[in-house]
Amino acid sequence: MNYLENKNIPESERRDIAFQSVVAVREAVSMANKSGQPITYKTSINIISELDLEYHSSLIKLVLDKNESELVRFYREKAESQSTLEKIVTPEEIINKEIKEMQADLDRNRDKKFPRLIKQKIALEKALLNFVPTRLSEHKLIETDYFLAERDSFFINKVYEGIKFKDYQITKNRILRMRLLHPDHEETVTGADLIYEQYNLKTKKVRIISLQYKAWDTKRIYIDDRSKKQVVKLESNYCNTGLCHGYDGQKHPINYRFPYCATFLRPTSRLYNQESKLVTTGIHIPICEIQKLLSKSNSFTKDDAYNKNISHSMFDELFNNNMIGSKWINIVDLEKFYQKLNFESNLDKIKIYAQEFNEIVEEEGVAELY
């Protein structure tokens, strides 16, 4: 069963995970765009529809834009009311049928004027746009499934074999590969993850950054025992393996830059109902700093994280300028890193897995991970 459809899990928790997935996709594409301007939430939802249509269908039931019209909401409800376990009825099917009937009525009576009928038909055509995902080419993201295979056989879906992916061309020299991974056992879900890898195709080096998403409870983040284990696991997997160390083996770099932090906690806003506005705070807190905060209490506020976090706008720019994130390592070392963690069999929460492939990347250096 799709995690978002599991009625045994409180709707508020499922809505948090759904929204975090949208935020993670938005963050990944915004990092790849390097424009300083994040993509819209609607574009993020459209990308999810390309990555996993079933997950997208479940997600939009939980995460709806506050600005949707009453007409759009009416057809969502109408489709749900007509759906059964044997057959799912979609809003676009109902709307298309009604538009077709209206057009037939108009065609039969070309010598008469029906302004209200025409007005309603136009309204339905506009409503239909809310259910048909926007073509991503309109956002300068062009699907090119064979691009990476032509560059290097290593990138033919080697990690997470069998998981569907989509490749999008960001610029002439840069490709973003996206995967949406979700767990088989919903009871293990603690939040959504974003794993972002940046590759230099010329040198076959890679750097990585990981974000763990968690919702604010009003103005405070509470870390229960299960979430605390996840924080410890992130520190063990990313920090203690040497990814957070510089080329001289020290945590702090020789050159001018932030420490090589490779994993962050990313608080998100909570959607209290389906009509909540899609908006979230943008701070990123290093996992090591989270551990320090948890040594004092099992919760913290934004004020507690003051001077310990990076804002959203700064985060993208710092990563793309090689000021945060892991050091550059050999691609084969990253593969060993995943094998050591048994990554494929530890999909214990929703993951947005993004890989940016670039033929022109400035590198600070390269280091062996082991």
pTM score: 0.74
- The angle, 0 to 180 degrees and rounded to 10, between the axes of the packed helices 41-51 and 11-33 is 100
Q: In whole angstroms, give the CA distance from residue 297 to residue 305.
A: 13
Q: Are the beta carbons of 329 and 206 closer than 8 angstroms?
A: yes
Q: What is the pLDDT of residue 264?
A: 93
At residue 320's C-alpha, the angle toward residues 317 and 326, to 5°, is 115
- Per-residue pLDDT 10s for the chain (370 aa) are 577 888 888 888 888 888 889 999 989 988 888 877 778 787 888 888 888 888 888 888 787 654 467 788 888 889 889 988 788 888 889 999 999 999 999 888 888 888 888 888 888 887 876 676 544 444 444 454 445 545 555 555 444 455 678 888 888 788 888 888 876 544 344 455 899 999 998 888 999 999 988 888 778 888 888 788 888 888 887 887 778 887 777 777 777 788 888 899 998 877 655 444 555 667 899 998 898 888 888 888 888 888 889 987 789 889 988 899 998 999 888 888 777 766 554 445 668 889 998 876 566 655 555 4
Q: What is the pLDDT of residue 9?
A: 84
Q: In whole angstroms, give the CA distance from residue 3 to residue 14.
A: 7
- The angle, 0 to 180 degrees and rounded to 10, between the axes of the packed helices 70-82 and 115-128 is 70
At residue 325's C-alpha, the angle toward residues 293 and 358, to 5°, is 155
Q: What is the pLDDT of residue 286?
A: 92
Q: In whole angstroms, give the CA distance from residue 334 to residue 75.
A: 47
Q: In whole angstroms, give the CA distance from residue 236 to residue 230.
A: 10
Cα 60 to the chain's mean position, in Å?
14
- The angle, 0 to 180 degrees and rounded to 10, between the axes of the packed helices 53-62 and 41-51 is 140
Buried b (16+ CB within 10 A) or exposed e, 279-314: ebebbbbbbbbbeebbeeeeebeeebbeeebbebee
Q: What is the pLDDT of residue 185?
A: 46
Backbone angles phi, psi at 300, to 5 degrees: -155, 160
* Beta pairing class for 220-222 and 263-268: unpaired
- Residue 305 is classified by DSSP as T
Q: Are the beta carbons of 55 and 180 closer than 8 angstroms?
A: yes
- In 10 A of CB 167, how many CB atoms? 20
